[in-house]
Structure 1
Amino acid sequence: MYRNGCGGCASWRKPPSPATEENPLVIAVPPLFSPIPPAIHPRHAEIDVETAAWAETYEIGSVALRRRLVQHEIGVFAARVLPHGREEVIRTLSDFVLWLFGVDDGHCEEGDLGQRPGDLAGALHSLLRVAQHPQAPLLLDDPLARGLRDLRARIDEFGTASQAARWVACLREYAFSVVWEASHRSAGTVPSLTDYTLMRLYDGATTVVFPLLEMGHGYELQPYERDDRMVQAAEEMASFVITWDNDLFSDHKERRSGGGYYLNVLRVLEAEGLSPEEAMTRAIAQRDRVLTLFVRLTDHLSATGSPQMRQYVAGLRSFVRGSQDWGIRSVRYTTPGDPAGLPTVFSDTATDDSPEPLGIDAVSWWWDVVPAGSSSAERSATRPSRREGLIGAR
């Protein structure tokens, strides 16, 4: 089976020459392995409309950015993440994800602050203060801050004090990581695979969603479960698969954006000497191996944990699968005017199901905490039929 030996590469490398129209270096993404059945909340269309109205009410981003974001069906994404959750929490998640895109697209990738990591850190620190203490008289006329105050009020309404505190802490992790990304953008450098893997666990803002998985069903994990290393590993694996998939789905859009600099796992692997085709194959093998491990671990946690734990790992799985379904359907990544060549179905077979670690130091500890094997019943419970693997099946 495939082995990755890139974990010890240099801290950064100068990127290869950017793609051009004559040499786009873009290849189609094949059907990806997904053993988790799809699901979606029945009011997904209404939630999407309500999020578009929320974006206008709080004037998130520029007019042009808002017009783009409301076309991306972010409400549908949230409805896939919490297919059986409370509608008011799904709406909160949807509005929050649109707010994150307003920050990420408006400040980090397309705005001037994306090239000035020091100034970006200051701007994000002020927003973090608003999230932590919304009563503080900061950024009172700033649309992002006003939207964030509304979101924090809803987090307080639907969650516990500890869940709200965790949400703020995870938002801080996200802010720290996007400043790191801005430092590479300003220097035009590409990080090593180990460094990229570590920061990608946070700069995709996946961890900020985790508290809402609990809020969506009105429960809270006990501290002994929350702090368990197996639970932490399952969360990180979910983040890895979600962000690796996002990198695969967004590669075409990023290469064709005309902005010059972009950063995803394919570019990282290409900077370490792989061809575009080899990079695609290796990235898919990496996510397949981790997804296989994730299923084994969540099978175990479901079989041995409390009812709240079973609900939580079901939420992690819905987050993974919901991100996949949305990623191959949203115009954010399909780019209809310049089709991205994304798959329309998923595969029920992994390209790499080896039980060996990837060889990436930042995440090698995952393999130390996963129990050896799982029952055939547990495995079959997570393997959908080929019909269930079709996009949008429910």
Structure 2
Amino acid sequence: MAVPPLFSPIPPAVHPRHAEINTHTAAWAEAFGIGSEDLRRRLVRHEIGVFAARVLPYGREEVVRILADFVMWLFGVDDGYCEEGVLGQRPGDLAGTMHRLLRVAQNPEVPLLSDDPLACGLRDLRARVDAYGTDTQAARWVACLREYALSVVWEASHRRADTVPSLSDYTLMRLYDGATTVIFPLLQMGHGYELPADEADDKSVRAAEEMASFVITWDNDLLSDHKERAGEGYYLNVLRVLEADGFSQPEAMTLAIAQRDRVLTAFMHLTDHLRTVGSPQMRQYTAGLRSFVRGSLDWGISSVRYTTPDDPAGLPTTVADTPTDDRLEPLGIDAVSWWWNVLPPGPPRGLSQSRDLTGARG
């Protein structure tokens, strides 16, 4: 089923060195032997360096390269271990493997997995994170990697049982299994600043980060649905979760789009507020979160990872100017209902109130 243009009020941008960054990441994957030869060849075609260049369009090139190489590494784990490997069906074994990789990220000097390509790549990434980030940012990068590891093990338990989680559980899982949180510290490293501790730990900032993760992963689910349904293995995305709740495929797509539009509206409203009341670093960070949201969408609608030219996916080539639902009311998803408690009063700037497209199914 074709995906319609998705709403975005955020302007597009791409780093001027995107071609060189993409070439570097392909060479990095080859140098460290990320994934099997077949997987590596496929990943190189996805232009992961361009993804990083869209997420950090004005960042330091060295950090954009770290981001690109990390996403290449991530797909080596996600595709190679979870989607296509036997560990994706064995959550206990996957947990052990991820814990050993986490130990390498936390303490690169430990004598673990010395011949493992993913571990060697992770050691390289950690050294570069240390070079361009603060101790606090490096520690948060490792902590967020742990969140990712825990969530993919949770997902593997569903894959093994061939089950579909509830919408609330899926939403919670998806905030982390897309590894969006691991990229947040790189947004700061890319511009050489650090959020003050009182702002970094503020509940409103965490809400903005989680809203960004929600929109990015919902977009990914919508754009990857065709590829995943065409595969032979287990797949899990928001459309499958909604269909398990009784919605038809067209109804599920309409609802998922309305959900991401409502969250994106709230995200813009909240980040507008944070930009007004926050520090100069906060203005930089909220701009980075916005670039992450838009950059992910632009890469998703253009990368062959999702357009699948041999079996065209019917993805949009433009974005929509208006949301399908911009009401400042909770979605009715328990895991994230608290977001609306921290929204500032008043209507969002420049967005008109739309009709309800997210009503509960009777």
Whether TM-score is above 0.5 comes out as yes
**Alignment partner, residue 296 of structure 2:** 323
Q: Does 1:132 align with 2:111?
A: no
2:245 is equivalent to residue 272 of structure 1: yes
Counterpart of 2:180? 206
Q: Could you tell me which of 193, 200, 210 is aligned with 2:167?
A: 193
Partner of 1:370: 343
Rounded to whole Å, the distance in 2 between the matches of 1:43 and 1:91 is 10
Task: Tell me if 1:74 matches 2:48.
Answer: yes
Q: Does 1:352 align with 2:332?
A: no
1:17 — aligned with what? none
Letter of the structure 2 residue corresponding to residue 328 of structure 1: I
Cα distance, 1:373 vs. partner?
Answer: 2.2
- 4+ residue runs over 3 A deviation: none
Deviation at 1:374, TM superposition (A): 5.4
Q: Which residue of 2 aligns with 1:141?
A: 115
The answer for the alignment partner of 2:9 in structure 1 is 35
Q: Separation in 2 of the partners of 1:74 and 1:230?
A: 31
Q: Which sections of structure 2, spanning at least 5 residues, go unmatched?
A: 352-362
Q: What does 1:199-278 align with in structure 2 at a 5 Å threshold?
A: 199-259=173-233, 261-278=234-251
The aligned counterpart of 1:391 is: none
Output the aligned Cα RMSD. 0.8
Q: In 1, Cα distance between the equivalents of 2:66 and 2:348?
A: 37
Give the match for residue 61 of structure 2: 87
Structure 2 residue 283 is matched with structure 1 residue 310: yes
Q: Which residue of 2 aligns with 1:5?
A: none
Rounded Cα–Cα distance in structure 2 between residues aligned with 1:362 and 1:313? 23
Given the alignment, which residue of 31, 36, 39 partners 1:57?
31
Match of 1:155 among 125, 129, 152: 129
Q: Could you say what secondary structure the match of 2:329 adopts?
A: coil
- Does the CA contact (< 8 Å) of 1:296 and 1:373 recur in 2? no
Deviations 1:111-155 (A, max 9, x none): 000000000000000000000000000000000000000000000
Deviations 1:35-64 (A, max 9, x none): 100000000011000000000000000000
Q: Distance in 2 between matches of 1:211 and 1:269?
A: 32
Aligned length: 351
CA distance in 2, matches of 1:361, 1:251: 24
Aligned to 2:272: 299
* Matched-pair identity in %: 78
SS at match of 2:181: coil
Gaps of at least 5 residues in structure 1 are: 1-26, 381-394
Quick check: 2:3–2:223 contact (8 Å CA) kept in 1? yes
User: 2: CA distance between counterparts of 1:292 and 1:375?
Assistant: 7
| 8 A Cα contact 2:269 2:348, kept in partner | no
Q: Distance in 1 between matches of 2:347 and 2:127?
A: 42
CA apart distance, 1:345: 0.4
